[in-house]
Amino acid sequence: MKKVLLGMSGGVDSSVSAILLKNAGYDVTGVTMHLYEGGCCNLSSVWDAKQVCRNLGIEHVILDYQKEFNDIVIKDFIDEYSNCLTPNPCVICNKFFKFGLMYKKAKELGIDYIATGHYAKCEFDEKYNQYVIKKANNLAKDQSYFLYYAPKEIIKDLLFPLGNFKSKDEVRKIAADNNLRVANKPDSEDICFITNGNYKDFLEKNSSLKPNAGNIVTKNGDVLGKHNGLYNYTIGQRKGLGISYSEPLFVVGFNKQKNELIVGTKNDLYKNEILVRDFNFQVNMDLDNAKVSVKTRYSARNSMATLSKVIKDNKEYIKVKFDEPELRATPGQSAVFYDGDVLLGGGIIC
């Protein structure tokens, strides 16, 4: 019997994944990584996961990675905002924890696979002659965007039990049919360590970032008003600027040295090309003028683009040249590359 280590958050998705894996004949061990005390990473969620495992008759273990989470994910979150970037901590968490420490623990325990409740698929692909991650059948819930940091060497050992479901209602029905108390538990949409979506309050309480007024200026340097700290804003933001102008204005950039928030029109947000750092590719492919589709934000549509490698300041980047100008390619977010429904890789937008 093949063994699988399943990441369990106490939510309905990972709970139903446990049912599906057990019914498929796997020897399942549920693991809850205690990463942060607060937000959705609380003791109640740990208890929900443990209760589900108890009801299903499977082992459940808790791994305390709070220090590692603080040193890696929260530090990156604070550092990125300190440098006027808009980070995606879920991507970093997956990289270092689910595909790092959790996978390492599975191998230490002699377990064959790791699994999560992500909406994605893992299949052998004839074109690339290897196992690949693919988009879920439920495109509205597809979470492959967050998974591009999985090393290609471990993809063959990944299981995503929810990849073939076409609706979340099907998943909740399985939970209800199995009398799981989490069947109607609401989805968690906030960053796990942020309470009530208030990331500004988190930054002010956990870093040296504090309100620091500066000028809001146009690209030409005209002063239009005052901001209350650059970390309070993100590229593409329109609301909450507190300025008036003859046409709608958006945040289009930052001048950290002068503590200036730069605003412009919607046209100023369009990019013909971007650079991507800290990239990872999950398939063997020629990156010389590679044609791919790209998502520059989880909720964004796919756009066609051409990739190439470039060297800048002795560092290697991926240049993404869009077929048509792309709106709101926000520095700090991820650019994720696809070939149809096959996840190719991705990286952080510069």
Q: Which residues belong to the active site?
A: 93, 192
Which residues are CB-neighbours of 314 under 8 A, at least 6 positions away? none
Which residues are CB-neighbours of 202 under 8 A, at least 6 positions away? 193, 194, 195
Separation of alpha carbons 290 and 279, rounded Å: 15
Residue 200 exposed, middle or buried by CB count within 10 Å (0-12, 13-18, 19+): middle
Residues in the chain: 350
Residue 324 exposed, middle or buried by CB count within 10 Å (0-12, 13-18, 19+): exposed
Separation of alpha carbons 204 and 81, rounded Å: 11
Nearest 10 degrees: Cα torsion 14, 72, 142, 140: 100
Interhelix angle 199-206/75-82, rounded to 10 degrees, is 100
DSSP string for 241-289:
-----SS--EEEEEETTTTEEEEE-GGGGEEEEEEEEEEEESS----SS
Separation of alpha carbons 71 and 64, rounded Å: 13
Q: What is the CA radius of gyration of the chain?
A: 22
